Amino acid sequence: MLNLIFFGAPGAGKGTQAKKVCEKFNLIHLSTGDILRAKIADKTEMGILAKSYMDKGELVPDDVILKMVENVIKSHPKSNGFIFDGFPRTIPQAEAFDIMLANLNMALSDVIHLKVDKDELIERLKKRAELENRKDDSNISIIENRIVQYIEKTAPVKEYYSNQGKLRKVEGIGDVDEIFEKVVEAIS
């Protein structure tokens, strides 16, 4: 089984690269942001709760995210593995995820960190707002809040995995196919 985390700030290109790597290795793409948006579209109770955080650029509570991730993993018992895209986003999520993986007899292979500087991220998020009509990318103060949340709550997760010897840094600027090659090389 190949289990990877795609780590990086909003707009770093995690989703784009995760889709390509999933295709190459026949993995399940588990994007917590995509699952939450689907729940919002279906107007489920969880979707309505999540929307109140997402529209402000805040993180959705850890317990909601963890239950959701566990359910998706359990619904694919015969998979070749997963790419976790946009998860874990806090230290408590990372700690609980380690316990969840151990209980499910699964192991994490690598954490791919896509690195992009802040100015480039803001430009990409503004463009995405126009293309995908995402409310959380639609206004500069929400975009900035997403980046603040990343710096304060998510960036420390890098060190957590670096201490486990699992962090692989990949420069996320340039041509999508070139970045893809570097991502594939980084997988051990």
- When the beta carbons of 78 and 89 are compared against ligand AMP, the nearer one is 89
* Identified binder of ligand AMP from the candidate list 2, 9, 32, 113, rule CB under 6 A: 32
* Identified binder of ligand AMP from the candidate list 10, 13, 81, 172, rule CB under 6 A: 10
d(C-alpha 4, C-alpha 107), whole Å: 9
Q: Which stretch binds ligand AMP (CB under 6 A): 28-36, 95-103, 112-120, 159-167?
A: 28-36
User: Within 120-179, which residues bind ligand AMP (CB under 6 A)?
Assistant: 136, 146
Place of tokens 């960190």: 113
- Asked whether position 8 contacts ligand AMP by CB under 6 A, the answer is no
Tell me, letter by letter, the H, E, C secondary structure of 29-48: EEEHHHHHHHHHHCCCHHHH
The answer to whether 124 is a known catalytic residue is: no
d(C-alpha 12, C-alpha 157), whole Å: 16
Q: How many CA atoms lie within 13 A of 73 on its CB side?
A: 22
The answer to whether 128 is a known catalytic residue is: yes
- When the beta carbons of 133 and 188 are compared against ligand AMP, the nearer one is 133
The answer to whether 146 is a known catalytic residue is: yes
- For residues 46 to 85, the per-residue mask of contacts with ligand AMP, x marking binding by CB under 6 A and - elsewhere, is -------xx--xxxx----x--------------------
Question: Catalytic pick from 14, 37, 39, 51?
Answer: 14
The answer to whether 134 is a known catalytic residue is: yes
Tell me, letter by letter, the H, E, C secondary structure of 13-32: CHHHHHHHHHHHHCCEEEEH
d(C-alpha 17, C-alpha 180), whole Å: 6
d(C-alpha 24, C-alpha 26), whole Å: 6
Number of residues that bind ligand AMP (CB under 6 A): 17
Sheet with 81-85, side-by-side order of all strands: 28-31, 81-85, 2-7, 110-115, 167-171
Question: Catalytic pick from 20, 134, 135, 158?
Answer: 134
* Spatial contact of 147 and 9, defined as CB atoms under 8 Å apart: yes
Which residues are tagged catalytic? 14, 89, 128, 134, 146
- Binding residues vs ligand AMP (CB under 6 A): 10, 32-33, 36, 53-54, 57-60, 65, 86-87, 89, 93, 136, 146
